[in-house]
Structure 1
Amino acid sequence: MNLVNLESVSHAYGPKPLLTDVSLGVAAGERIGVVGRNGGGKTTLLSVIAGQVRPHGGRVTHTRGLRVGFLSQQDELDPGIPVRELVLGGRAEHEWAGDQAVREILASLIGDLDLDAKAGDLSGGERRRAALARLLIDEHDLIMLDEPTNHLDIEAIAWLAGHLAARKSALVVVTHDRWFLDAVSTRTWEVVDGRIERYEGGYAAYVLAKAERARIAQAAEERRQNLMRKEIAWLRRGPPARTSKPKFRIEAAQALIADEPPPRESVELVKFATARLGKTVYDLEDVTLHAGGPGSGPLVLDRITWQFGPGDRIGLIGVNGSGKSSVLRLLAGTVSPDSGRVVRGRTVRLAHLSQELAELDPARRVLETVEEIRKYIQVGKKEWSASQLLERLGFKGDAQWKVVGDLSGGERRRLQLLRLLMDDPNVLLLDEPTNDLDIETLNELEDLLDGWPGTLLLVSHDRYFLERVTDRSVALLGDGRLSLLPGGVDEYLERRAAGSAVTARLGSAAPSVPDRPGAGQPAPRSQSGAGAELQRQSEPTGLSAKEERELRKELNRLERQLDKLGDQESRLHTAMAEAASDYARLGSLDAELRDLLGQKDAIEAEWLEVADRLGD
C-alpha cells in the first residue's frame, strides 16, 4: 500500500523546471535514497512528497492520518527554548528516562549537550543534531530526511544508519553519503532533468544498474549512429538521385539528424602535474599539542613522534572535537605545538583546504579568484585558460562573473579545490572536502585523487570517500595518541564501542608480528605511512632517539617495498587468471610469481628483525 502518491507532478523555480510530469509512490516500509546533482530538484521532490510545497501541476495524495517526520536542511528552531523542551517536548523525565529507545537516541546524538542550554546558544551542528533527535523520538509512518549526515561524525552516522534500518517507518532520504545510502536504502531514485529514474537496491546496486543501462544505451546509440551515417550518405549521392528518393525516407533521415542529442553536461576535473617530493615530507618529533593553544583546551597529541612520508595517503578519524582540524593546522604551520618540533621537507608544496574557506575573498569574482593563481595551465598537449577550466567545472557563462560571496557551499568548495590544484601542490591537507558536493562531483574528485601522486592527509565524515582515496587510517581516540587502524573505519567503531583506546597497541609504527604478511594474515592496507611512529612506546628499548628514528625510517622503506610487492602480486594473480588457457604464458607468470614471493619473504624477515630491535 502506498502512503504517498504523486500523479503527473510538475514544479519549477523561475524558468528552470525541476520536476516534469512525475508519477510515483512511496509504499509502507520502503526505504528510498534520492541522488542527483546539486540544484537538480532533490529537496523540491522531498518537500512535495511531504506536502510542504504545493506543485505547480499534478496531484499529491497522502493516506488518511499519515504521520510524516521531515528534517529539512534549514533548522528553524525557537532560540529561546531549552534543548530539553526542543527535543523531548512535554514528556516528563520519568517517562523518557525509562524508555531505552529514547535514551539511546539522546546518548547517540546529543549526549554532549546540556539539556538546559538554550537552542539559540547551540552551534549549527548542535542544532542539527537536536532537530534530528526530536524527529527520531516521535513515531512516524514516513520519515523524510534532507542531508541528515551533515555535522555528524563517522560514529554517529553508523549509529543513525543502524537505527533507521531497524525502524518500521518508510524512509525517503536525500544524501551525498554513499556509504549511508548503501546502509539504509533498498531503492534509489535519481533526479535528472526533471525525471525520476528508479533503481532497485542501495548505492552500489544503483551504480551497477546505471552502468548497465549506459552500456545498453551506448550499443543502441552506436547502431543509431551507423544508421545515421548511411542515411546521410544516401541523401548526399548527388541531386539527381536525391530527387528520386521517396519523400518519407528523406524526412526520416532529416528527423534522425535533427534528433541528435547535445553533448552531456558533466563536471570534469583535470589532473594536474605535481612537484617532486624528497624523502622527508613531515617529521613530528616529541610533539605535544592542545586544541586551544599551549596548555589550553583538549589534549590532542601527547609527545608524539610521527613521520609523514612521500606518497602517504592517510585518513584521520575521530569524533567531532577530537582535534583532527588542529592536526592539519599544525602541519600547515598555522598553529605551533606546545612542545617538540615539526620538521617540514624542503621540497614540500602545500595546499590546505580548511572547513571555513576563509581564504576566499567574498567580494571578488569567480574568474578573478582563479586567475590570481594562474591564468593558463598546460594539460597534456593543450593549454587551458582559467575560464575554460571553470566552464568544465560547471561555472558556465555569467556564472564566472558571480561574486564569491553569492556562491553556494558546493560552488565555493569546487572553486577552492580548483584554486588549490592549479597552484601545483605535492602535499594536500583536506579538511572535510566533501561538504556540499554532489555524488557526481565526488566521483570526479576521487578520480582526480586516484591518479594524483602526491602526499595526502584527509579528514572526512564521508566514510565511502575516506576509504576510497586513502590507503591507511589513524585515529584520535582522546588519549593523546595517533592510533593505527589496520581494520579501517570498522575497527575504529569497534574500538570506540569497546572503549579500548588505552589498552590497544595498534598505534605504534608497525603492528605486532602476527599482523605482518606471512604470519597468518594478509598485509593490511591501512598500516601507518612508512613506518611512522604514531605513539611513543611505554617500554624503553635501550635505543637513543637518533637510533630509533633511523630504525623507523628503515621500517618505512621496508614497508613501502612490501606494499609495492603486494601490488605486483595482485597484478600477477589477475594476469594468471586471464591467461588460464595459455599454458606457455601461465608458466612464465608462475615463475615470475615465485621469484616475487622469494623477494617478499626476504624483506619480511628483514622487517621482523628491525621491528624486534625496536621492541615492536
Structure 2
Amino acid sequence: MLHRPILHSLSNVLLSYRNLTVSFGGPKLLDDAGLTIAKRERICLLGRNGEGKSTLLRILNGEVQPDKGEIESIPNLRVGKLEQEVPTALDGTVFEIVAQGLGQAAETIAQYHHLLHEIGERPEDENVAAQLDDLQHELDQTDGWALEHKVENILDRVELDGDLEFASLSGGNKRRTLLARALIAEPHILLLDEPTNHLDIPGIQWLEEFLRKTDIALLFVSHDRAFIQRVGNKILDLDRGQLTRWECDYDTYLERKAELLAGEAKQQAVFDKKLAEEEVWIRKGIQARRTRNEGRVRSLKKMREERAQRRDLQGKAKLDLSDAQLSGRKVISVDDISYTWNDQPLIENFSTTIWRGDKIGIVGLNGSGKTTLLNLLLKEIDPGSGTVTHGTKLEVAYFDQHRAQLDEKLSVAENVHPAGEMVCINGKPRHILSYLQDFLFTPHVSRSPITKLSGGERARLLLAKLFLQPANVLVLDEPTNDLDIETVELLEERLLEYSGTLLMVSHDRSFLNNVVTSTIALEGDGRIEEYVGGCDTWLENHRAKVGQPKKAKEKTAPSPQAATPDIPKRTLSNKEREALKTLPAEIENMEAEMNALSNRMASAEYYQSSDNDPLADAKKLESLENQILEAYEELEQLEELTR
C-alpha cells in the first residue's frame, strides 16, 4: 500500500512522489524515482521510446498502481489527462462530449442541450416542450444552470461550436474537444501525452498559446522540439529508471545533459579501466594469490557488483537507407491539375516540376488535402483535370502515417521481412535480427507479436521496413509521430544525406525547417503556394492572412427564449437573482482595484522599491481583467433572461 500523507494547503507543491518503482516483471521503468509538481509549472517529460513515459502518466492519473512509492498531495487533488489517441467510439455533439467531464451532473445538462435543438426543429411538438420544461425545473433546483454556463465558457476558450457533431470534426478539433473535456473539471494538474499529434501547424501554435496562458500545472510528453521550447519551463528527464529534474528550458537542457553524459562516460571509463586492472591482478599465479591483500579482494567484489548493477545508456538507432539506381533528372511533372472532393475544391489549377534531389515539405490545415496531393503526385488517384507525368526509373518507398502496412498477426521480424532470415542491405546480406537491432529491437522483441509495441516502436518498425526497400523517391506522411527526439534527429541526418527525392507531409516545424529545400502549402479553397525553404515563410504569410484567431462561433449561454419563442420563459433561481443584484457592485470594485494597480505600475517609483513584485502584480492584473470580463458576460446573460 502507498502511504498518502497530505501536503499543507499553503504549499506551492501539488504532488510529490518518493521511491517510485515500477517494473512489470522486466527492467525497472522507474527505480526509486522521485517527482514533484508545483503550481503553474509546465514540465516536459523526456525519454526514449519504451523508457516508461506513458506509464508514469498513467500512474499519476490513477490508471496504474506502482510496485512501490510514497505520495503526498494537496487535499482533493484533481488530475486531468489528454490521451495520445482520439477514441473512436465517441458519439454526440461537442457540447455533450465536453459536459461528460462534469461526471454525473453532465447527463441532465446534455439532455437539456439536446432537447433545445429538437424544439428548435419541431416547435409544435408538445411532448418535447413538456420534457424541456421538466428539465428546466430540475436544473433550477440543482443549480445546473451554473454547470451549463461552465461548459459554454470552456467551449468559448477553446473556440469550438458546441452544436457540431463530434464525429464530423477534423482530428485537430477533436483534440480541442477532448482538451475542453479535461479542463471542465478544473484540474490542478493536466497530463498531456503527445498533444501535437494529428494537429496542423496553426493548431499547434494555438495550443502553445493556450497552454502558456493557463494557470494549471502541466506535465506533458512531446517529440515536437519547437513546441517543447515554447511551452515547457521545466524538463523532467526519464533515463534508465531515474527521473532528473532540470530547472531550465529545452535548449539549455540539451547543453547541460550533453555535459552530464560526457562526464558520466569519463567516470565510467576510469572505473572500467580500474576494474580491468584488478581482474588481471586477481588472476595472477599461486604466489601472487598467497600474498594478495584481502581488502583489495573485497574491493574488487564490490566493484563487480557495482558494474553488474549499472544500466548502460541505450544505444542510438542506426537508420541506413538502401541505395537504388538514379532516377531520371525530371522526377514528376504536374500540369494544371484540379481535384474536387464532396463538391469542395481541394486543388485547383496546380502546376509544378519536381527534380531529382528535391526535398519537398507539404503543409496545410487539417482537411486541406495534403495526403490527397501526395496520392495525386504518386498517380495513386487521378486528377479531375490536368496531368501528372512521372520521369524514368522511379523506385518509390512510402511511409503511411496510419501504419496500415503493419500486420497485427505477424511478429516484428515477419512484418519487416516475411521471407526468410536474411535481408540484403546495399548488396550485402545481413540476418534480420541483426538488422532490427539497428532499430533498437532486441532479438526477443523481434520474435514477438507487434501487438505490445508502443506507438514510437511501431513508427521505428515501419522505418525498418521502409529502409529495407531500395528507393530513389522517398514519400513520408507524418513520419515523426510518436518517435522519440533522438530518433527524429537521426532521421533528419539520414534524410539530409539522402541523394534521392523526398516528398514529406509533416506538422513538425523544426523537422521541416531542418530537412526540406522547398515547401508546398495548401491554403484552402483549392489554392496552392510554393515557398523556398522550410515552413516559416508560409506560417508568416498564413498569420498575416488570417489575422488574430477568431472563434468558431460566438456563443452565449442558451436560454429558452434564445432557442425559440415557443418555449416558456424560465424564472431566475435564487442564486441568479442574488447575482443580478451584486454583480454590478463587484464589477465596479474590481475595475477600481485594476485601475489602481495599473496606475501604480505605471509610475517610476514602483520599480525603485524592492517591496514591489512586478511579475506577481502583472499576473494579478491579468487575472482581474479576466474576472471582470467573465462578470460582464454573466451579467449580460442574466439580464437577457429577465427581458
Question: Structures share a fold, TM > 0.5?
Answer: yes
Question: Which structure 2 residues correspond to residues 416-435 of structure 1 after superposition, within 5 A?
Answer: 416-435=462-481
Cα distance between partner residues in 1 of 2:94 and 2:203: 19
Match of 1:56 in 2: 67
Is 1:269 paired with 2:318?
Answer: yes
For residues 185-233 of structure 1, the C-alpha deviation after alignment (integer angstroms, 9 at most, x for no partner) is 1111122332212223233222222111111112222322333344344
Question: Which structure 2 residues correspond to residues 464-613 of structure 1 after superposition, within 5 A?
Answer: 464-486=510-532, 488-499=534-545
Match of 1:400 in 2: 446
Match of 1:103 in 2: 156
Partner amino acid for 1:413? Answer: A
| Greater mean deviation of Cα atoms: 33-42 or 230-239 | 230-239
Q: CA deviation at 1:15?
A: 4.5
Cα distance between partner residues in 2 of 1:166 and 1:487: 31
Match of 1:193 in 2: 240
Contact kept, 8 Å, 2:514 with 2:534, in 1: the verdict is no
2:275 to 228, 244, 260: 228
Q: CA deviation at 1:76?
A: 6.5
For residues 525-565 of structure 1, the C-alpha deviation after alignment (integer angstroms, 9 at most, x for no partner) is xxxxxxxxxxxxxxxxxxxxxxxxxxxxxxxxxxxxxxxxx
Question: Which structure 2 residues correspond to residues 115-194 of structure 1 after superposition, within 5 A?
Answer: 115-119=162-166, 126-136=173-183, 139-194=186-241
Cα distance between partner residues in 2 of 1:373 and 1:206: 45
Task: State the secondary structure of the residue aligned to 1:87.
Answer: helix
Q: CA deviation at 1:327?
A: 1.1
| Greater mean deviation of Cα atoms: 17-26 or 301-310 | 17-26
Is 1:26 paired with 2:37?
Answer: yes
Partner amino acid for 2:467? Answer: L
Is 1:463 paired with 2:509?
Answer: yes
Q: CA deviation at 1:304?
A: 1.7
Q: CA deviation at 1:125?
A: 5.8
Cα distance between partner residues in 1 of 2:441 and 2:477: 23
Contact kept, 8 Å, 2:21 with 2:29, in 1: the verdict is yes
Is 1:343 paired with 2:389?
Answer: yes
For residues 297-348 of structure 1, the C-alpha deviation after alignment (integer angstroms, 9 at most, x for no partner) is 5323222221111111121110111110011111222111112211212122
Cα distance between partner residues in 1 of 2:91 and 2:425: 55
Match of 1:87 in 2: 98
Cα distance between partner residues in 2 of 1:280 and 1:373: 34
Aligned CA-pair RMSD: 3.2
Contact kept, 8 Å, 1:142 with 1:169, in 2: the verdict is yes
2:249 to 196, 202, 206: 202
For residues 115-143 of structure 1, the C-alpha deviation after alignment (integer angstroms, 9 at most, x for no partner) is 33454666776543311133346644322
Q: CA deviation at 1:50?
A: 4.0
Task: State the secondary structure of the residue aligned to 2:29.
Answer: strand
Match of 1:40 in 2: 51
Contact kept, 8 Å, 1:78 with 1:120, in 2: the verdict is no
Is 1:285 paired with 2:335?
Answer: yes
Partner amino acid for 2:70? Answer: R
Contact kept, 8 Å, 2:368 with 2:524, in 1: the verdict is yes
1:317 to 332, 355, 363: 363
Cα distance between partner residues in 2 of 1:358 and 1:24: 38
2:22 to 11, 18, 22: 11
Contact kept, 8 Å, 1:279 with 1:309, in 2: the verdict is yes
Task: State the secondary structure of the residue aligned to 1:420.
Answer: helix
Partner amino acid for 2:79? Answer: V
Match of 1:387 in 2: 433
Q: In 2 relative to 1, CA 58–94 (structure 1 residues): closer, same or farther, beyond 3 Å?
A: closer
For residues 146-183 of structure 1, the C-alpha deviation after alignment (integer angstroms, 9 at most, x for no partner) is 22222211111111111111222221112222221111
Contact kept, 8 Å, 1:79 with 1:118, in 2: the verdict is no
Contact kept, 8 Å, 1:49 with 1:60, in 2: the verdict is no
Contact kept, 8 Å, 1:288 with 1:302, in 2: the verdict is yes
Cα distance between partner residues in 2 of 1:418 and 1:76: 28
Contact kept, 8 Å, 1:266 with 1:394, in 2: the verdict is yes
Cα distance between partner residues in 2 of 1:465 and 1:299: 29
Aligned length: 490
Cα distance between partner residues in 1 of 2:423 and 2:89: 50
Contact kept, 8 Å, 1:373 with 1:422, in 2: the verdict is no
Percent of aligned pairs sharing the same letter: 34
Task: State the secondary structure of the residue aligned to 1:307.
Answer: strand
Task: State the secondary structure of the residue aligned to 2:330.
Answer: coil
| Greater mean deviation of Cα atoms: 417-426 or 380-389 | 380-389
Structure with greater contact order relative to length (CA < 8 Å, sep ≥ 6) = 2
Q: CA deviation at 1:102?
A: 5.0
Task: State the secondary structure of the residue aligned to 1:198.
Answer: strand
Q: CA deviation at 1:486?
A: 4.6
Match of 2:629 in 1: none
Cα distance between partner residues in 2 of 1:403 and 1:10: 27
| Greater mean deviation of Cα atoms: 270-279 or 87-96 | 87-96
Larger radius of gyration: 2
Partner amino acid for 1:173? Answer: F
Question: Which structure 2 residues correspond to residues 292-371 of structure 1 after superposition, within 5 A?
Answer: 292=341, 296-371=342-417
Contact kept, 8 Å, 2:332 with 2:389, in 1: the verdict is yes
Q: CA deviation at 1:369?
A: 3.1
Contact kept, 8 Å, 2:328 with 2:393, in 1: the verdict is yes
Match of 1:602 in 2: none
Cα distance between partner residues in 2 of 1:329 and 1:285: 15
Cα distance between partner residues in 2 of 1:7 and 1:405: 32
Q: In 2 relative to 1, CA 388–50 (structure 1 residues): closer, same or farther, beyond 3 Å?
A: same
Contact kept, 8 Å, 1:374 with 1:422, in 2: the verdict is no
Q: CA deviation at 1:445?
A: 2.2
Task: State the secondary structure of the residue aligned to 1:468.
Answer: helix
Is 1:437 paired with 2:483?
Answer: yes
Q: CA deviation at 1:479?
A: 4.4
Taking structure 2 as the reference length, the TM-score comes to: 0.69
Partner amino acid for 1:187? Answer: K
